[in-house]
Amino acid sequence: MRKITASLFISLDGVVEAPDQWHFPYFNEEMGQAVAGVLGAADTLLFGRTTYEAFAEAWPAREATGGPEADFARKLGDVRKIVASRSEPTFTWRNSERLKGDLIDAVTALKGKPGGEITVGGSVSVVRQLLAHGLLDELHLLVHPIAVRAGMRLFDEGDQPIPLRLAASTTFRTGVLHLVYAPAKAVGDPTEDGVRS
């Protein structure tokens, strides 16, 4: 079974919307390494349409300019990119394709096929659905020490709790917490290996 991870910028009050408006003052080398570590470990990236379009606008240009991010941008361009979208996106970034069929069925099938790690880049609606169906193996939250106080939050209203266990935590010099969560069998289950930091 392939491992599926997701990584999100999130505020102290749970907001994940429009991180470009509050995230950048906290970006440093530590965070860059953490983000690159998650995205760089994948041979397949899974996106919702909106996040894909934002990535497709930014990363090919960074590759083309040949600046300090060019090598990482080239790596992102080379991996397979699958976009979950109700409409047919316009693909301008190489190795991109539309997810065929129902998201949960398609990701379940993809998880069972041979291959490396699958990473969800941003794409809150996709992350929510994968969490709700038990398909996400790791959730990386980069918790910023700011209360945004407006905007979409990661966890919306629902009738079923989603138990998670803390698998790792790191504190960056900026005060950002890198928290890694994994599925838990039931609320209150002890961790198997404890928390590494």
Within a domain: 184: no
Per-residue pLDDT, averaged over 76-91, amounts to 93
Is the pLDDT at 142 greater than 60? The verdict is yes
Within a domain: 192: no
Per-residue pLDDT, averaged over 7-12, amounts to 97
Within a domain: 131: yes
SS3 assignment, position 46: strand
pLDDT in tens, 92-141: 999 999 999 999 999 999 999 999 999 998 899 999 999 999 999 999 99
Which comes out higher in pLDDT, residue 50 or 187? Answer: 50
Within a domain: 130: yes
Is the pLDDT at 190 greater than 90? The verdict is no
Helices (H), the chain: 29-40, 49-65, 70-78, 103-112, 124-132
Within a domain: 183: no
Query: What single string gives the DSSP state of each residue in 74-104?
Result: HHHHHSEEEEE-SS-PPP-STTEEEPPS-HH
Residue 128 sits in a domain whose CATH number is: 3.40.430.10
Within a domain: 123: yes
What is the distance between the alpha carbons of residues 112 and 135, in angstroms, rounded to a whole number?
Answer: 11
Q: Is the pTM of this model over 0.75?
A: yes
Based on the structure, what is the number of domains in the chain?
Answer: 1
pLDDT-derived band of residue 160, with 50, 70 and 90 as boundaries?
A: confident
- Percent of the chain having pLDDT more than 70? 94
Within a domain: 186: no
Give the residue numbers spanning the domain of 90: 4-176
Mean model confidence pLDDT for the chain: 92
What is the distance between the alpha carbons of residues 11 and 58, in angstroms, rounded to a whole number?
Answer: 23
Within a domain: 196: no
pLDDT-derived band of residue 167, with 50, 70 and 90 as boundaries?
A: very high
